[in-house]
Amino acid sequence: MYDRANHQRVVNEVVNTSPFFIQVSNRMFADAWLLHDYQVMSHLKDYVSPVLVLEGKQDVISIETAQTITASFSTAHLVLIDRCGHYPWIDNPEPYLS
């Protein structure tokens, strides 16, 4: 998170208390990566609809990762949001929502 003051709020409200978040995360990990050797990158160029990739400049996931994802689509556009970590709607909602 860009603003560490929001960190505990996210952990309390999303990660620790949401059964949906926990179930979805566990299921995605188990189904996609452990059981099926989940590889989609080679198929993304075939996707023809517009793609918007949003990345916080201060996200723990590197900008290079967002650039790689963007380059994997033929129609993608990358928007970097300053003063923003992994949760743009919390850290910097103005550019995220506009």
What is the average per-residue pLDDT within 63-86? 94
Alpha carbons 3 and 22: distance in angstroms, whole number: 24
User: Residues 48, 54: contact at Cβ < 8 Å?
Assistant: no
Model pLDDT, residue 89: 86
Q: What's the pLDDT band for 72 if we cut at 50, 70, 90? A: very high
Alpha carbons 88 and 82: distance in angstroms, whole number: 9
Model pLDDT, residue 16: 65
Least confident of 39-43, 45-49, 82-86: 39-43
Task: Considering only the C-alpha atoms of the chain, give the largest distance between any 2 of them, rounded to a whole number of Å.
Answer: 41
Give all domains of the chain, ordered by start, each with its CATH number. Answer: 4-97 (3.40.50.1820)
Residue 54 clears pLDDT 80, i.e. is over it: yes
Alpha carbons 57 and 47: distance in angstroms, whole number: 26
What is the average per-residue pLDDT within 70-87? 93
Model pLDDT, residue 31: 66
Model pLDDT, residue 33: 61
